[in-house]
Chain A
């Protein structure tokens, strides 16, 4: 029985004449979606599996589908005769385009068997001449097929050979996804043995030596493993010593390695290919010469066997000498290897005569962290989840290791400059640092935004498109727009007479979620605002002297630059005075709150809508009452109408009172901080609200000229007295003109049976709601209709936005690239672009 080895992802061509049993072979060994049959595609595009007239469109469609599958990394089997070289060439090209391996399985059966089977096919019978022709083509093919570019060609001869065959799928050589580390990834060594030994020691490895006191292995007591990013040799003093140690560590399982361009060139030189001996190769060859043929052969075999790149830790970590774009990770092709070893070079040379490398990391958007070397840089920096670890040890810089998953950098200084650099070491950020550059790809839907352990939020193409204009034309600079607050749902409609909203329904919601402890917070009569304060402008790529920003819930700037600056200055002073920076161990903080008065942002809205409607309403109803009174004096029966109109006049006056409460002196700005969102030390969604409100209170105590207090009350749902007190608190608050309250779980971020629960539910006051539902909404006839409102969509959106906001904060804390943060923030705006009843 023969076992055929097939890479678990890649392309497989079945080759055989009609009637050789390709389809039944495929059905036996592969899953139904893995097999693309040319007959089936004839049927798809031409309604008939035998219709030879549609061969061209059928193969076009087959190639298209195969391409999509390969793009997704799926094993794909082509069930077609494939006896012509030209047919195979197209498919081999397709595999190369997608950087996957292509294998061939040839079913070489006696033609008599095929002809006999063909006879039994009924309508699907193929002309005898065609089969004979195919057989000739197959014979011709078998001669040169191994040179066509297949990774493997399996030939199964006769029915017995076919029946005895089994398929074993094997992993690609670069697939180490089940290795989870921890690892210590070591940058370009270039023969600097002493520095390597120092580094290993600092990393906690103990080195073993042979009788001649040469380092031959190193192991870590905690089982950590080293990974070399390549370029072990050349330029430095002891390439052979480094090779000996690295080979020993790899052979004993204490290390893994990928090849660098210097190893690649060394192998070619050792194989006798003519290569130029520059860049330190000559010295290495001399060292090997002195070491003798046995070690030289071992070194050659070691270097030649290295796989271009490694994919580790469930695909979360990729190691390649020159880095690797996402599309090439876990793939196998010449260009993948070339990129991994040399980077992408387009033949352009810089002023030092060195190839200009395409700054791939700048555009990298992959999920896997990529650690690499190759380009000596002045410092290790994370650029879009990639880091270059070549800190130019051989040029007198440092030898650097990155601990993974800790992402901790450990480095030792070079003992001396072993080789003069051809060009000065570069900044890891490249010649043009463009941290603020975002691409359309970042914000074009559909987007699947991963919010860590909170799941995926999907943004449709339309939603994303809906936010593009707002974000581009009205929002502040994305570098400083690190968070947008989620929308908030009101409580379900109250069934009490005279109420549309009441605390009972908010409590009922949280009770249903199994939550007992809540906090009721006063809902401020201002505009939702996010305040970012920073003592370190560079942290946000901001100009020197930048203090932070205050923006609205849609990312707009609140006040003019001068006003903002004064406000931020004062906010800084107050934070200084309460020792907030030390307490949070941070140079920056993002506060969630409300900016008062509302008229600051909404004055034109108040004038154009509320005051206008109020003026018209008071005048019209007042006049109507007078006319009706005259009619009543005439003895006409206008009783009901007069009474109704009188009530409406009263409502219009009450409406005016409601909006007047929001008119304040715009010079008298206040910020009520009710939540500390994030700082360098973390995001604070799991700190209970008492902590957040406590900081808010201290800010007020230290600077009541800027910070406004948030009144709050803690509630226990299992205590009827506590609930009654909360209801009374709300009644008093709103009777005194307050807007209402927000009810939140005391412990903050809470998961219920169905995932995250609402972070807050608002309960608005009776008088305030006149501004939402109209002066006359409390009329029981009106109220009855208004109670029918759908809060479900509002709630699911609130949760999606909440999760995106939290992830944006976490990414900011983690120092992740701007585009990631921006995607989350953009996502919130995108969700908001779809209309939902604006009164909820």
Chain B
């Protein structure tokens, strides 16, 4: 098909001889044509963001406080701001209809789209653009942008320039950009609500249903809100083959849901508590309440206290324990306390046992002494149960580089002998007897993944 490229201006319904400006909540959009000929016509959509307004306007509080700062990349990145501009300025072109050129509006056209700066966040990294656009018939050229040429050691930035070329319907191309720019960026400048799910289904019509990365796209577009993803997917006319692909990427971001070691660890702690006859238990550093839930479910435990240094974790724990809906008796049985293990706290006195499950490795070695004094010295319960990773076992984790730790926040990870040395000295200083148990799969040379020490107070 021989096409007059100047028809682009008709399809976009923007006059080729004018520089048009459109007012947006976040600034201004400009449309103009730097190049107009029958062979090739280029339309430019430029978004001029008001950076101060973006910070000061309370409407824009979409994601993690990014817009609280004047120093942010939003004015420069083709992101959800660009999507808003496309949706506002080129709305009619997104419908795939045209009064003057109806056949062109419905035809696959030779298009070339240049995006000067896109941002690719998250684990998927640099190949995400290809994975998103190539299945839609685009050939993708991606050029990374250096962070700062003066410091080559810093490497590339998280930005790149992107050129897409292919035979694609214009309305699809625009709707694909509308959806995929925020997906690439994995962020939105506004609060994502239920409407977004419907919007995704509408704008994805005709190209998203069978996209191999459909789940990643939905998940990221809907700001990682699972319930919205379910809503959107139900609104899509999914064709059977898409079901095969459900999985890999989704799993990649969510694989933490299954973690048998956690379960084994919690069960080992419960067993140890019962072996100690401890019915009144404090879980120090309870986090969002993983162990507390198990303690709660087991009527053997008559009094349960969870403490954490993070008020946020305690809120999560309260929710996961359904304390708000609980009876007075249950509320009296379970108590949550904002407290730090480095300060001695009388409110912990009188319990049978204190559990420090995966806690000590989050504390600076120089301050472990304060924890020991407060728990073993001041609280001094009959039993103390401590679990911590076994550093030797790390060799068996294929994804863990040698010499690195299992979690960013771990201040140390001990070998079995280091752990024992510490435990023996604590036990000696505060008159406890100590027993060791392994948790998780055991290797002949490396021991178990988690190591546990059970301290019992020596009775004279």
Residues of A in contact with B (beta carbons under 8 Å apart) = 432, 434, 436-443, 465-466, 468-469, 471-473, 476-478, 607, 609-617, 619-621, 623-624, 627-628, 630-631, 634, 636-638, 641, 644-645, 656, 660, 663, 771-774, 776-777, 782, 785-786, 838-839
| Residues of chain A within 8 A of B342, CB atoms compared | 438, 472
With contact pairs A437-B377, A440-B339 given, residues A612 and B157 touching in the complex (Cβ less than 8 Å): yes
A785 near B159: Cβ-Cβ < 8 Å: no
| Residues of chain A within 8 A of B19, CB atoms compared | 631, 636-638, 641
| Residues of chain B within 8 A of A438, CB atoms compared | 342-344, 370
With contact pairs A442-B343, A616-B77 given, residues A468 and B309 touching in the complex (Cβ less than 8 Å): yes
From the candidates B34, B70, B119, name the one contacting A627 in the complex (CB within 8 A).
B34
Instruction: Tell me how far the C-beta of B438 lies from the nearest C-beta in chain A, rounded to whole angstroms.
Output: 28
Instruction: Tell me how far the C-beta of A435 lies from the nearest C-beta in chain B, rounded to whole angstroms.
Output: 10
B378 near A616: Cβ-Cβ < 8 Å: no
From the candidates B32, B147, B373, name the one contacting A636 in the complex (CB within 8 A).
B32
Of residues 327 through 376 on chain B, the ones whose CB sits less than 8 Å from some CB of chain A are: 338-347, 362-364, 366-367, 369-370, 373-374
B46 near A624: Cβ-Cβ < 8 Å: yes
With contact pairs A611-B157, A616-B145, A636-B17 given, residues A773 and B30 touching in the complex (Cβ less than 8 Å): no
- Top 6 closest A-B pairs, CB basis? A620-B76, A774-B70, A630-B34, A616-B76, A623-B116, A472-B340
With contact pairs A468-B338, A631-B44 given, residues A616 and B32 touching in the complex (Cβ less than 8 Å): no
The answer to whether B395 has its CB under 8 Å from any CB of chain A is: no
A471 to B77, CA, bound (A): 37
Contact with A along B144-187 (1 / 0, CB 8 A): 01111011001001110100000000000000000000000000
Instruction: Tell me how far the C-beta of A757 lies from the nearest C-beta in chain B, rounded to whole angstroms.
Output: 30
| Residues of chain A within 8 A of B377, CB atoms compared | 432, 434, 437
| Residues of chain B within 8 A of A607, CB atoms compared | 147, 154
Contact with A along B58-93 (1 / 0, CB 8 A): 000000000011111101110000000000000000
With contact pairs A612-B157, A619-B159, A774-B51 given, residues A439 and B346 touching in the complex (Cβ less than 8 Å): yes
The answer to whether B310 has its CB under 8 Å from any CB of chain A is: yes
Determine the residue in chain B with the shortest Cβ distance to A474.
Answer: B364
| Residues of chain B within 8 A of A613, CB atoms compared | 71-73, 76
A440 near B309: Cβ-Cβ < 8 Å: no
With contact pairs A472-B309, A613-B72, A627-B46 given, residues A620 and B343 touching in the complex (Cβ less than 8 Å): no
Determine the residue in chain B with the shortest Cβ distance to A641.
Answer: B30
A532 to B342, CA, bound (A): 22
Of A469, A613, A628, A634, most buried by chain B (CB within 10 Å of CB) is A613
A615 near B148: Cβ-Cβ < 8 Å: yes
Instruction: Tell me how far the C-beta of B359 lies from the nearest C-beta in chain A, rounded to whole angstroms.
Output: 11
Given A613-B73, A621-B76, A624-B46, 10 additional A-B pairs, CB 8 A: A468-B339, A616-B117, A620-B77, A631-B32, A634-B35, A638-B19, A663-B151, A774-B52, A782-B51, A838-B69
A447 to B77, CA, bound (A): 47
A782 near B370: Cβ-Cβ < 8 Å: no
A774 near B56: Cβ-Cβ < 8 Å: no
From the candidates A440, A473, A476, A611, name the one contacting B343 in the complex (CB within 8 A).
A440
| Residues of chain B within 8 A of A636, CB atoms compared | 17-19, 32-34
B145 near A615: Cβ-Cβ < 8 Å: yes
Determine the residue in chain A with the shortest Cβ distance to B53.
Answer: A785
The answer to whether B323 has its CB under 8 Å from any CB of chain A is: no
A690 to B369, CA, bound (A): 42
Instruction: Tell me how far the C-beta of B4 lies from the nearest C-beta in chain A, rounded to whole angstroms.
Output: 18
| Residues of chain A within 8 A of B18, CB atoms compared | 636
Instruction: Tell me how far the C-beta of A201 lies from the nearest C-beta in chain B, rounded to whole angstroms.
Output: 45
A615 to B150, CA, bound (A): 12
Contact with A along B25-38 (1 / 0, CB 8 A): 00000101111100
The answer to whether B427 has its CB under 8 Å from any CB of chain A is: no
A706 to B345, CA, bound (A): 42
Determine the residue in chain B with the shortest Cβ distance to A473.
Answer: B309
A434 to B146, CA, bound (A): 54
| Residues of chain A within 8 A of B154, CB atoms compared | 607, 611
Determine the residue in chain A with the shortest Cβ distance to B70.
Answer: A774
B75 near A617: Cβ-Cβ < 8 Å: yes
A663 to B311, CA, bound (A): 36
| Residues of chain B within 8 A of A772, CB atoms compared | 70-71
A-B contact number at CB 8 A: 169
The answer to whether B48 has its CB under 8 Å from any CB of chain A is: yes
A437 near B76: Cβ-Cβ < 8 Å: no
B161 near A619: Cβ-Cβ < 8 Å: yes
A624 to B44, CA, bound (A): 9
From the candidates B147, B150, B373, name the one contacting A612 in the complex (CB within 8 A).
B147
A631 near B70: Cβ-Cβ < 8 Å: no
Instruction: Tell me how far the C-beta of B349 lies from the nearest C-beta in chain A, rounded to whole angstroms.
Output: 12
Residues of B in contact with A (beta carbons under 8 Å apart) = 17-19, 30, 32-36, 44, 46, 48, 51-52, 56, 68-73, 75-77, 116-117, 119, 145-148, 150-151, 154, 157-159, 161, 309-311, 338-347, 362-364, 366-367, 369-370, 373-374, 377-378
A777 to B56, CA, bound (A): 13
A634 near B70: Cβ-Cβ < 8 Å: no
With contact pairs A442-B343, A627-B34 given, residues A437 and B374 touching in the complex (Cβ less than 8 Å): yes
A208 to B32, CA, bound (A): 110
- The 18 listed contacts between A and B (C-beta, < 8 Å) are A432-B377, A437-B377, A438-B342, A469-B310, A472-B340, A476-B364, A611-B148, A615-B145, A615-B147, A616-B119, A620-B117, A627-B34, A634-B36, A637-B19, A641-B48, A645-B48, A786-B52, A839-B70
Instruction: Tell me how far the C-beta of B16 lies from the nearest C-beta in chain A, rounded to whole angstroms.
Output: 9
| Residues of chain B within 8 A of A644, CB atoms compared | 48
A443 to B374, CA, bound (A): 15
A656 to B146, CA, bound (A): 13
A768 to B62, CA, bound (A): 28
With contact pairs A477-B366, A612-B158 given, residues A660 and B150 touching in the complex (Cβ less than 8 Å): yes
| Residues of chain B within 8 A of A627, CB atoms compared | 34, 44, 46
Of A437, A466, A615, most buried by chain B (CB within 10 Å of CB) is A615
A616 near B159: Cβ-Cβ < 8 Å: yes
B362 near A473: Cβ-Cβ < 8 Å: yes
| Residues of chain A within 8 A of B71, CB atoms compared | 609-610, 613, 771-772, 774
Instruction: Tell me how far the C-beta of B19 lies from the nearest C-beta in chain A, rounded to whole angstroms.
Output: 5
B373 near A617: Cβ-Cβ < 8 Å: no
Instruction: Tell me how far the C-beta of B114 lies from the nearest C-beta in chain A, rounded to whole angstroms.
Output: 8
| Residues of chain B within 8 A of A440, CB atoms compared | 339-340, 343-347
B373 near A436: Cβ-Cβ < 8 Å: yes
Determine the residue in chain A with the shortest Cβ distance to B18.
Answer: A636
A771 to B154, CA, bound (A): 19
| Residues of chain A within 8 A of B51, CB atoms compared | 774, 776, 782
A617 to B51, CA, bound (A): 12
| Residues of chain B within 8 A of A774, CB atoms compared | 51-52, 70-71
Instruction: Tell me how far the C-beta of B238 lies from the nearest C-beta in chain A, rounded to whole angstroms.
Output: 36
| Residues of chain A within 8 A of B48, CB atoms compared | 641, 644-645
From the candidates A477, A614, A631, A638, name the one contacting B367 in the complex (CB within 8 A).
A477
With contact pairs A469-B309, A612-B147 given, residues A617 and B344 touching in the complex (Cβ less than 8 Å): no
Determine the residue in chain A with the shortest Cβ distance to B370.
Answer: A436
Instruction: Tell me how far the C-beta of B70 lies from the nearest C-beta in chain A, rounded to whole angstroms.
Output: 4
A631 to B20, CA, bound (A): 13
A634 to B18, CA, bound (A): 11
Instruction: Tell me how far the C-beta of A657 lies from the nearest C-beta in chain B, rounded to whole angstroms.
Output: 10
A656 near B70: Cβ-Cβ < 8 Å: no
| Residues of chain B within 8 A of A620, CB atoms compared | 75-77, 116-117
A612 to B69, CA, bound (A): 14
| Residues of chain A within 8 A of B340, CB atoms compared | 440, 443, 468-469, 471-472
A607 to B146, CA, bound (A): 11
B73 near A616: Cβ-Cβ < 8 Å: yes
A466 to B117, CA, bound (A): 38
Instruction: Tell me how far the C-beta of B33 lies from the nearest C-beta in chain A, rounded to whole angstroms.
Output: 7
Determine the residue in chain B with the shortest Cβ distance to A826.
Answer: B343
A195 to B69, CA, bound (A): 73
B157 near A615: Cβ-Cβ < 8 Å: yes
A688 to B25, CA, bound (A): 53
B309 near A616: Cβ-Cβ < 8 Å: no
